[in-house]
Amino acid sequence: MNEQRPDPDRLLDRVQREEAQQQRGRLKIFFGACAGGGKTFAMLSAAHGLRMQGVDLVIGLVETHGRAETAELLRGLEILPPRRLEYRGRQLAEFDLDGALERKPAVIIVDELAHTNVRGSRNAKRWQDVEELLDAGIDVYTTVNVQHLETLNDVVGQITGVRVWETIPDSVFDRADEVTVVDLPPDELLQRLKDGKVYVPHQAEQAIQNFFRKGNLIALRELALRRTADRVDAQMREYREDKAIRSVWQAKERLLVCVGPGPDGEKLVRGAARLAGNLRADWIAIYVETPRLQCLPSAARDRILDTLRLARELGAETATMGGSDVVATLLSYARSRNVSKLVIGRTSRRAWQRQLSISVAEKLTLMARDVDVYVVGYEP
């Protein structure tokens, strides 16, 4: 059977989450690699579709950046007047949160989720304004680029040489009810720049020479697609937990390598890292501590910690678990993380030992019918 009886506590938690969600507005993010990729255009096109269905929709704030095709899409839509705030002697237009809450449409469009509000606004960040709208039961459509996710901000800065200071917490992105990827190949985006559809001509030329180099765009595109795939993977894991599904769904490669106190742990981890790299897979290094292993000498325990540290340096997630049965613990954890491949070291044993009992590798091979088991190297 693929499904078992759900855990009562987990079932209660899911019911409570669903009840809370029914009172809260839904957040839809139009997500892309960088500016000029068509996120706002796609969002406004969707807004027109909702209006044709009779949905009560309001434009809270949209940044057109002088793009005629984007401005054209605002025609026929109700637009909430902006709030005017004075900053350093200038009058700046900001999203009117109080006006939006008073109007309370079914759906509101609020562009550029990572925007920093002008001093004097109730909230420092636009994503905080959006949280208030959602708490009030209003659905929100918004846009964000991959470089604005907090955990990827440094990575993007290293790739492009440009540090973006306006960010949103990844938790805001992960809690979104829907994420629509607006993907544009780098060559098409560069052509849009040259055609003046993203920036005015002199700004476009400067952008192409700096941030919008083709290599940067390819890397940003991959980051956006991978981050979206990670979100989908998390949703699948949550669904499997809610439904108590124990069998592995091999929708995405994920490796689990089991390390022990033996001297070949680093060799095993490096082999797993190479395999994960070849498969473009996420991987996890795990140490299962049985009662017998709790009495290890300090040198052996230090060796385990060094092996797990190396795994983290090579890009792995690491975990330590306790259990009296290594095989059962490994398989339970592997299935909870939807692991597709399990990597372990072969233990060298004398002939008389092999006659008395079967090894961990042999047990795993027999019991892990829905997980591929790789036995590599030697780990005495």
Listed by start position, the domains of the chain span 8-240, 254-378
* CA–CA distance, 134 with 204 (Å, rounded to integer): 36
Place 10 in a pLDDT band, splitting at 50, 70 and 90.
Answer: low
pLDDT of 2 over the 70 cut? no
* pLDDT for position 69: 86
Instruction: Tell the CATH topology of 254-378.
Output: Rossmann fold (3.40.50)
Q: How many CA atoms lie within 13 A of 134 on its CB side?
A: 20
> For 308-325, what is each residue's pLDDT tens digit?
999 999 989 999 988 888
DSSP character for 79? B
**What digits encode the pLDDT tens for the residues 140-197?**
999 999 999 999 988 888 888 888 889 999 999 999 999 999 998 889 888 888 877 7
- Token duo for residue 182: 């607006």
Q: What DSSP string describes 190-232?
A: HHHHHTTSSS-HHHHHHHHHTTT-HHHHHHHHHHHHHHHHHHH
CA atoms within 13 A on the CB side of 173: 29
What mean pLDDT comes out for the span 251-280? 86
Do 8-240 and 254-378 come out as alike in CATH topology? yes
The answer to whether residue 57 scores a pLDDT higher than 60 is yes
- Say which DSSP state 80 is in: P
For the full predicted model, state whether its pTM sits above 0.85. Answer: no
Q: CA 223, CA 100: separation in Å to the nearest integer?
A: 33
Rounded-to-integer distance, Cα 222 and Cα 214, Å: 12
Q: Is the pLDDT of residue 244 over 80?
A: no
Distance CA 349, CA 199 (A): 68
Instruction: Please say whether the beta carbons of 255 and 283 come within 8 A.
Output: yes
Average pLDDT over residues 336-355: 66
b/e burial code for range 190-213 (CB count within 10 A of at least 16 → b): bebbeeebbbeeeebeebbeebbb
Give the CATH number of domain 8-240; options: 2.40.50.100, 3.30.360.10, 4.10.520.10, 3.40.50.300: 3.40.50.300
Q: Are strands 178-181 and 254-259 parallel, antiparallel or unpaired?
A: unpaired
What mean pLDDT, rounded, does the chain reach?
A: 83
Distance, CA of 266 to CA of 377 (rounded, Å): 11
- Alpha-carbon dihedral 9, 10, 14, 15, rounded to 10 degrees: -30
Percent of the chain residues past pLDDT 70, beyond the cut: 81
Q: Tokens 């990670």 correspond to what residue?
A: 230
pLDDT at 146: 94
Mean pLDDT of 35-47: 93
